């Protein structure tokens, strides 16, 4: 599978916190599809036009100053700083004399960029590149691209003219057809830090594929979703990265409808010296 094809499989970030706060609605994880093809056929998928349209409207509100930030088309009136991410971003900037190049894998139309940007004013230089599905990239380039914020549908190689310092993979791995194949490709970007956020893991020795159902009060959608085996994930990461920190996420601990317990976690990792 090419990187361009992998980018097309990207999904928007999870909306767990909002779902839990809204009129008793909740996200649900159900079923056990035999493979990714079966999971896609049993769900509405990530490319539904209503998702992009809603994200675009919300992003425009943020750009006009009518909301503080948005996540998957839901606007938030007050800051909600992601402190583990901010700490990791600033730590990487210190290592690079105040310069920071971020590759935001699955970053929508710049959601996390806008959420973090007010806290990054002290940097000497910031470049933030979002890797997304082609339809998001087209809209991002047409409406929101700046010298600082750019969009692409493929990962750069370590031989690219401008290599990223920092890889952000937030609520993405679970929505990829082959998350482990993506993890294998990330070292080739040449980045020093890998930050994985809001990723569901279980104590099972096997990854579990299911269907995630989004409440209609947010927007009607369902996606194939992996619940990753913690042991498998860490074994894959430890080939190229050293774990610096693990932290809990606000999404907390959940169960599938048939009872598998899992937890959303975040990880900060540093590229292993050769």
Whether the predicted pLDDT of 236 surpasses 80: yes
Indicate if the pLDDT at residue 109 is higher than 70.
yes
- The mean per-residue pLDDT over the stretch 145-164 comes to 78
Q: Which pLDDT does position 137 carry in this prediction?
A: 95
Structural domains in the chain (count): 1
Q: Report yes or no: 128 and 110 within 8 Å, Cβ to Cβ.
A: yes
Q: Per-residue pLDDT tens for 8-45?
A: 344 443 443 443 433 335 889 999 999 999 999 999 87
Dist. CA 128–CA 103, nearest whole Å? 6
How high is the mean pLDDT of the chain? Answer: 86
Q: Give the integer Cα–Cα distance in Å for 227 and 203.
A: 10
Token representation of residue 146: 């700046």
Reported confidence tier of residue 147, pLDDT bands at 50, 70, 90: very high
Greater confidence (48 vs 260) lies with 260
| Position 221 confidence tier, pLDDT thresholds 50, 70, 90 | confident
- Name the residue range of residue 123's domain: 3-271
CA distance 31 to 67: 36
Q: What CATH number is attached to the domain comprising 242?
A: 3.40.50.150
**What's the whole-model pTM score?**
0.86
Residue-level pLDDT at 48: 60
Greatest mean pLDDT range, 59-73, 207-221, 234-248: 234-248
- Cα radius of gyration rounded to whole Å, the chain: 18
Give the mean model confidence (pLDDT) for residues 99-122.
Answer: 93
Task: Return the residue matching tokens 């998350």.
Answer: 179
């Amino acid at each position: 599978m090419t990187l361009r094809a992998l980018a097309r499989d990207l999904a928007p970030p999870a909306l767990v916190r909002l779902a839990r706060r809204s009129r008793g609605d909740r996200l649900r994880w159900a079923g056990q599809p035999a493979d990714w093809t079966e999971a896609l056929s049993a769900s509405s998928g990530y490319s539904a036009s209503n998702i992009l349209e809603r994200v675009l409207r919300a992003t425009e509100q943020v750009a006009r100053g009518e909301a503080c930030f948005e996540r998957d088309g839901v606007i938030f009136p007050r800051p909600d700083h992601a402190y583990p991410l901010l700490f990791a971003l600033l730590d990487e900037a210190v290592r690079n004399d105040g310069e920071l190049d971020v590759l935001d894998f699955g970053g929508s139309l710049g959601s996390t960029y806008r959420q973090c940007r007010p806290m990054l004013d002290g940097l000497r230089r910031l470049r933030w590149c979002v890797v997304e599905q082609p339809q998001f990239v087209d809209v991002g380039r047409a409406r929101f691209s700046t010298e600082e914020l750019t969009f692409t549908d493929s990962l750069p190689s370590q031989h690219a003219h401008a290599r990223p310092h920092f890889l952000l993979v937030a609520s993405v791995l679970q929505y990829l057809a082959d998350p482990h194949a993506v993890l294998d490709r990330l070292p080739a970007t040449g980045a020093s830090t890998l930050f994985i956020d809001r990723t569901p893991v279980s104590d099972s020795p096997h990854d579990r594929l299911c269907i995630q159902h989004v409440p209609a009060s947010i927007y009607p959608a369902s996606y194939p979703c992996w619940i990753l085996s913690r042991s498998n994930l860490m074994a894959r990461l430890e080939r190229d990265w050293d774990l610096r920190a693990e932290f809990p996420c606000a999404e907390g601990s959940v169960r599938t409808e048939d009872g598998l317990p899992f937890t959303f976690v975040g990880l900060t990792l540093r590229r292993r010296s050769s």
